[in-house]
Amino acid sequence: MTSSFDALGVPARLVEILAAQDISTPTPIQAATLPDSLAGRDVLGRGRTGSGKTYAFALPLVARLQQSNAKRIPGRPRALILAPTRELVAQIQEAIKPLADAAQLNTLTVIGGVGQNPQVRGLRSGVDILIACPGRLEDLISQGHCSLAAVEITVLDEADHMADLGFLPGVRRLLKQTPTSGQRLLFSATLDKAIDVLVREFLRKPVTHEADSAQSPVSQMSHHVLHISDRELRVPVLADLASAPGRTVVFTRTKYGAKALARQLNKRGVPAVDLHGNLGQNARTRNLAAFHSGAANTLVATDVAARGIHVDDVALVVHADPPAEHKAYLHRSGRTARAGAEGTVITLMTDDQRNDVRSLTKAAGIKPTTTRVAGIDNPVLRELAPGERVLVDGGYLAAPAPAQQQGKPGSSSRNGQRGGQQGGRNRGARNGNGGGSANGRRQGGGGGSANGKANGGGNGGSSRRRGPSGGGSGRPSNGGGHSAASFSTGRR
């Protein structure tokens, strides 16, 4: 195996960017694919989650775009990376941006769940590297905001997961819009019949490389099945495991199950956040940030939501609900033992799940150690998740959004953008508790602040129309009450 990126042909400036991130040795999938992808050949690469596939396609993509030096055209990206989930798009963007910046290339992400206007503006400005989920990209193309006619390089990441989610029809429609002369790189943890269809239709004489595939054994990963005698033990056992030092990812089959389990763990003092399809993008981003930062040491997720998420130092993966099929088991388990680190994978199994779990692990090529557990005093729990158990009263408490925070006495009104609940409307906006609204059209009960200069909700106000108990001359005043800018009860 080649021991350096220089020897593989990666440009020196990109090697420097990697070195600044303490990345100096190529992973097997990178060493296998980079010579061909840098040479412009179509590549089909199989590597398990965490094997380094992102840099395997990011490095040749940036290098070849810089080499071609084509002009940036509004609405016509030069390279396209398709990924199945919003979180994976964000992680690809995070990895590729330093490389793109070094090559004076720009990037843009296109995902659903957020407003499209910033994405439309970005496309109009011209994009070198577009990283997108298929659904939103098709929407923007149908609206005339984007064309794929100038794409030089197309990358499909997590292609097997796109197939699992039913995205392949959309992916095929998008690929048909890219030039047939362009380079195409397809990366996947598994290569099945659905992927073969894409390969035959869109890749030209592809070079196939397999390294660290999903079926490859991971020596640093140990697999265990805990046979719980009573389903009521499920949450206590999970709480005990998750309260040990280190990050834990717990998987459930359903969105409701993830939400309910996170709530139960928090009640038991385990700081936990959930991740599933019912969460809005802001909540997903906030919960992932809490898990990354360590504010919450446990992430409870569904298969779809957690696919492709990379978080370093996950010590433990727990299948609270055994997955439906072996590919999901392998992808779930790939959240730990990444980049050479050690990790433990535990599956909770009840009596009625024995046959399913046995078939599942056999199909996955796993021979787990099975232990019957009748209570949380079983020593195997300490063996699998060693260390002192730490519980936090109330678990994880998310910081309230700015519009929902209760203001402090004496805080500013911010030019009357939100006035008191009794203070009427401030230019048509609904107001929160506390002081009145400065610069507002109406002043109601509760003190107002003059032009946002007052501290808190004392007397006075400068509105054009006073309510029953407004008052004063509009002079700044100090006093108690809640900040006019800090609490809102209406929709925005």
Contact between 44 and 156 under an 8 Å Cβ cutoff? The reply is no
pLDDT score, position 2: 57
Considering the domain architecture, whether residues 369 and 275 belong to the same structural domain is answered as yes
Task: Note down the domain range covering 45.
Answer: 5-210
Among the candidates 353, 384, 415, a domain finishes at 384
- State pLDDT tens for residues 303-362: 765 665 666 678 899 999 988 777 777 777 765 544 445 678 999 999 999 999 999 888
Task: Write down the H helix ranges in 21-143.
Answer: 28-38, 53-68, 86-102, 117-125, 134-142
d(CA 425, CA 402): 19
Task: Write down the H helix ranges in 211-350.
Answer: 234-242, 255-267, 281-293, 303-306, 326-333
In a domain, 72, yes or no: yes
Considering the domain architecture, whether residues 454 and 366 belong to the same structural domain is answered as no
Domain count across the chain: 3
In a domain, 60, yes or no: yes
Contact between 152 and 181 under an 8 Å Cβ cutoff? The reply is no
Tokens of 310: 């990379």
d(CA 262, CA 210): 37
Residues linked to residue 184 through DSSP beta bridges, in sequence order: 154
Among the candidates 166, 188, 210, a domain finishes at 210
In a domain, 375, yes or no: yes
Among the candidates 210, 234, 267, a domain finishes at 210
In a domain, 398, yes or no: no
Considering the domain architecture, whether residues 321 and 419 belong to the same structural domain is answered as no
Considering the domain architecture, whether residues 145 and 236 belong to the same structural domain is answered as no
**Closest C-alpha among 453, 457, 449 to residue 410:** 457
Tokens of 317: 């993966």
Considering the domain architecture, whether residues 364 and 343 belong to the same structural domain is answered as yes
Considering the domain architecture, whether residues 231 and 199 belong to the same structural domain is answered as no
CATH number of residue 360's parent domain: 3.40.50.300
Considering the domain architecture, whether residues 152 and 190 belong to the same structural domain is answered as yes
In a domain, 392, yes or no: no
Model confidence at 419, pLDDT cuts 50, 70, 90, reads: very low
Considering the domain architecture, whether residues 376 and 445 belong to the same structural domain is answered as no
195 three-class SS: helix
Q: Above 70 in pLDDT, residue 452?
A: no
What is the value of pTM for the model shown?
0.60
Considering the domain architecture, whether residues 177 and 283 belong to the same structural domain is answered as no
